[in-house]
Amino acid sequence: MKKSQNMFSVLSIAGFDGSGGAGMQADIKTISALGGYATTVLTALPVQNTMGVQSIFEIPPDVVKLQLESVLEDIRPDAIKIGMIYKTEIAQIIVDFLAEIPDVPVVFDPVMVSSSGKKLFEEQANEFLIQKFLPKVSLLTPNLDEASILANMPIKSVEDMEQAGNIIIKMGVQSVLLKGGHLEGERLTSLFFDTDKSIHRFESQKIVSKNTHGTGCTLSSAIATYIASGKTFLESVSLAQEYVYQAILHAKDKAWGKGKGSLHHFYKQF
């Protein structure tokens, strides 16, 4: 009789995407594709498709708390990925939850604005995010727009990225992966500010494709999954970026929806 083995698990605390490309759906696909077991807590219910976000319905904070308590009572995560939070009250509940499991690594993708321009985070929650939330985060993965908000500065170059990253790291977060996909040029540059204060530069060729919906969600959940499997932060960042690159590459000729389609999360499987 084959001995049972526990899979490493990753908890996704995120919003919903009915089109399947971003949010919780992207997290579940990514975690599963990389061999992990996904558990989930829903924080908000955006109504969206590949063409954009039409509206957002709130999840009551006490319901978020009940979800967190239920999951933790049964399945302890090896890593946590946090995406869309939306409200300060929910952020506080998550902070209290994280205090109960301080040894579990937390990857936070600070989803503030959708790719279609819809605000996904209350403006008044920014101060709470910086003062109370970021110190609980092991690895932060902002894009340039999000980093610009957090660092309170424009980011137009790799030099600006380094300056912004150094500002953000002083907010108490352990490490930062600053994604430079929005910079002009044919090359994509990302900077990883590691826990030992070293800075690692990653470069790749940009892929021309409309199917990039959920790239940030996929990257952050991939990092969390690799961390859960026992990889170091630096190894996880490197492997996750390669996974996302291949998922975009294998999706560029696919046709999913009328707008920005999803990545191909299961390119390794089929």
Report the distance separating Cα 78 and Cα 242, nearest Å.
22
- Of 95, 64, 72, 102, which Cα lies nearest the Cα of 11? 72
Which residue among the candidates 39, 212, 218, 225 is catalytic per the annotation? Answer: 212
Report the distance separating Cα 259 and Cα 52, nearest Å.
8
The one-letter code for the residue type at 130 is I
Which residue among the candidates 179, 225, 260, 261 is catalytic per the annotation? Answer: 179
Q: Please, what is the Cα angle at 24 between 235 and 173, to 5 degrees? A: 45
- Of 240, 193, 243, which Cα lies nearest the Cα of 220? 240
- Of 140, 204, 213, which Cα lies nearest the Cα of 171? 140
158-165 LR contacts (CB < 8 Å, sep 24+) = 158/183, 158/189, 158/191, 161/189, 161/191, 162/191, 162/199, 165/191, 165/193, 165/199
Which residue among the candidates 87, 214, 260, 261 is catalytic per the annotation? Answer: 214
Whether residue 210 lies in the annotated active site: no
Which residue among the candidates 36, 50, 217, 260 is catalytic per the annotation? Answer: 217
Please say whether the beta carbons of 222 and 30 come within 8 A.
Answer: yes
Please say whether the beta carbons of 37 and 10 come within 8 A.
Answer: yes
Report the distance separating Cα 98 and Cα 180, nearest Å.
29
Whether residue 214 lies in the annotated active site: yes
Which residue among the candidates 50, 215, 218, 225 is catalytic per the annotation? Answer: 215
Whether residue 212 lies in the annotated active site: yes
Which residue among the candidates 40, 216, 225, 260 is catalytic per the annotation? Answer: 216
Whether residue 217 lies in the annotated active site: yes
Q: What residues are annotated to the active site? A: 179, 212, 214-217
